[in-house]
Structure 1
Amino acid sequence: MSQPHYEQQYLDLMRRVWRDGDERIDRTGVGTRSILGATMRFSLDDEAVPLLTTKRVYWKVAAREMLWFLTGDTNIRELVRQGVHIWTDWPLDAYRRATGEAIDREAFEARIVEDDAFARQWGDLGPVYGAQWVNWPRYEPVGDGLYRKAGKGHDQISDLVRAIRETPGSRRLLFTGWNVAEVGRMALPPCHMTYQFQVANGKLNGLLFQRSCDLGLGFAFNIFGLSMITRMLAQQCDLEPGDVVWQGGDVHLYLNHASLVDEQLSRIPAGRPKLRINRRPSSIFDYRIEDFEVVDYTPQSHIPAPVAV
């Protein structure tokens, strides 16, 4: 008897959330159906990557975002230069509310790219993801119980690579973006917040805990990002990639995604794409988008749906 397609667990979860989820008004005002707690597991053996096949996933956008995180950058300017728009809506919304100007996204992004001062003022997202991953703030005492930020922050990613190599049996092989002291300054607090890794039988397994998951739109990028960084870490540490495990906290579908849900659940998953890394750079920070290649990926058509901001 053949094994179910790896994507079936995702479709089953989508059906469960849409059918049984608690309907509520959320932060965005759009409304969701939500459950608490879900787990999925995918194999990375033989270059496998759990890209969704029931709709097209623009994996290069997810890959560019992951590489951007690893630079520690928190300004959308470099993403926009690469044609990546997934972070623009938050600063655009802030600009519209602050100025009252009904500027469209294309014009806003053009100003971000062309105007240094404008990009500094309106393109920064606060200390999101990459800032915490590679530059988690350190503090030093200045007297009377007061502290100040001290120089270069803590680089969790470099420490992780070193720990995987030197202490592979450790239960502390992880990094996180949830810095309680700085959450209030972030355009969006980290959803894919904590990554943990395990070395077993010469393979590197990766786990992501995601406190909040937009199952209709965000998940496809999140599982690709987990698979990608697990593969990168495995390569840097002379290991084979094993499994990736995704754990969702608040797993939800937006109420205005009904057509997406109906269409996607009507489709049958097929195919087994592969993710190849065609070069081994000198460090985890030196990968380029050209190093990654997805083959044997023949998805069904894209399913459009609005993003809730």
Structure 2
Amino acid sequence: MIKGEQAYLNLCNYILENAAERDDRTNTGTYSIFGHQMRFDLSEGFPLLTTKRVPFRLVASELLWFIKGDTNIRYLLKNNNNIWNEWAFERWVASDDYTGPDMTNFGIRSQQDSNFNEVYKEEMDRFKEKVLQDNAFAEKYGDLGFVYGKQWRNWKTSQNESIDQLKDVITSIRTNPNSRRHIVSAWNPEDIPSMALPPCHTLFQFYVADGKLSCQLYQRSADVFLGVPFNIASYALLTHLIAHECGLEVGEFIHTLGDAHIYSNHLEQIKTQLAREPKPLPQIRINKDKASIFDFELSDFELIGYEPHPGIKAPIAV
């Protein structure tokens, strides 16, 4: 198996050398391949990239948000996590309630026009403050629809019953570890129209062997520079948490990608990252006094020995 984060760096190099240039939903343009798999041995270290700083606090608070079944960005904002803001903001500025400056294509315009960027930042700050302070506004515009947390914890059936997929899969791992049905799906075709962003990481499956828990994720769409480093760390942490609850060691995290792409405005950032030498992976320590995955908070995680290269900024495509 490839060691450390080299599997990720190999993916970046492969895309640069082999990708097709394609248009995309955001009108940014991508360099894309279809079908790729990476494997990470979780016993060798926690797969948080070292060739650029990846903010673990944001990874962990987003995962806890999913686990809680929450779909409103208010929880994230309270934890100073802004990674989902743009999708909620987009809904607000497209609504009849919005009366501020024109925010059409704000993601691209904010990168191209410094004057517009200042206006955009002011509107985003106003939006965040309203989500935090105004309950009615937060309920209407802070919610992202039936995204990950809803599908993981409260999948609605045709009989209007509710399925807690995450709780059920933990029970299944504990009671029938050899099952081939340890699956959680975020892709609910009926709910796609109501989501601010249809799930990119669509389905994950667990596997138990030799007292170790492994996880495989299928990701239909993968923003390789910004999104994938978060996804790797998030599902690695999820595997650690569920292994802890089920009395297992951690095995592998296997990351299977559909459309794996580098946005055209991330090329220089990727090249900067690839020029750096990887460092040893950190270790993750979780609070063993917590028995259930549903009881964890941010303070229950400790990252040990994380000494990465500096972060590399890049615009997000909305």
Would you call these one fold, judging by a TM-score over 0.5? yes
Out of 174, 181, 198, the position equivalent to 1:172 is 181
Q: Which amino acid aligns with 1:95?
A: W
Residues 17-32 of structure 1 aligned to structure 2 (within 5 Å): 17-32=15-30
Q: CA–CA distance in 1 between the matches of 2:189 and 2:123?
A: 33
Residues 83-94 of structure 1 aligned to structure 2 (within 5 Å): 83-94=80-91
Q: Which amino acid aligns with 2:305?
A: D
Shift of 1:111: 0.8
Cα deviation 1:217-249 (Å, max 9, x = unaligned) = 001110011101101110000110111111001
* Residue equivalent to 2:136: 117
Q: CA–CA distance in 2 between the matches of 1:251 and 1:118?
A: 36
* Residue equivalent to 1:138: 157
Q: Does 1:249 align with 2:246?
A: no
* Residue equivalent to 2:234: 225
* Residue equivalent to 1:81: 78
* Residue equivalent to 2:203: 194
* Residue equivalent to 2:119: none
Structure 1 gap ranges (5+)? 141-148
Residues 1-309 of structure 1 aligned to structure 2 (within 5 Å): 5-45=3-43, 48-98=45-95, 99-102=98-101, 104-140=123-159, 149-150=160-161, 153-309=162-318
Q: CA–CA distance in 1 between the matches of 2:2 and 2:189?
A: 40
Shift of 1:100: 4.9
Q: CA–CA distance in 1 between the matches of 2:11 and 2:42?
A: 21
Q: CA RMSD in A?
A: 1.3
TM-score (norm 1): 0.93
Name the SS for the 2:231 alignment partner.
Answer: helix
Q: Which has the higher helix share?
A: 2
Q: Which amino acid aligns with 1:290?
A: S
Q: CA–CA distance in 1 between the matches of 2:65 and 2:254?
A: 23
Name the SS for the 1:175 alignment partner.
Answer: strand
Name the SS for the 1:182 alignment partner.
Answer: helix
Q: Which amino acid aligns with 1:38?
A: H
Q: Which amino acid aligns with 1:101?
A: G
Cα contact 1:5–1:270 (8 A) shared by 2: no
Structure 2 gap ranges (5+)? 102-121
Shift of 1:5: 4.2
Q: CA–CA distance in 2 between the matches of 1:199 and 1:97?
A: 46
Shift of 1:104: 2.3
Shift of 1:97: 2.4
**What is the count of residue pairs matched by the alignment?**
296
Cα contact 2:178–2:208 (8 A) shared by 1: yes
Cα deviation 1:42-101 (Å, max 9, x = unaligned) = 11115x211100000001101000001111111111111110000100111221222252
Q: CA–CA distance in 2 between the matches of 1:20 and 1:104?
A: 40
- 192-201 or 9-18, which deviates more: 9-18
Cα contact 2:32–2:261 (8 A) shared by 1: yes
Question: Which segments of structure 1 move beyond 3 Å, counting only runs of 4 or more?
Answer: none
Cα contact 2:3–2:40 (8 A) shared by 1: no
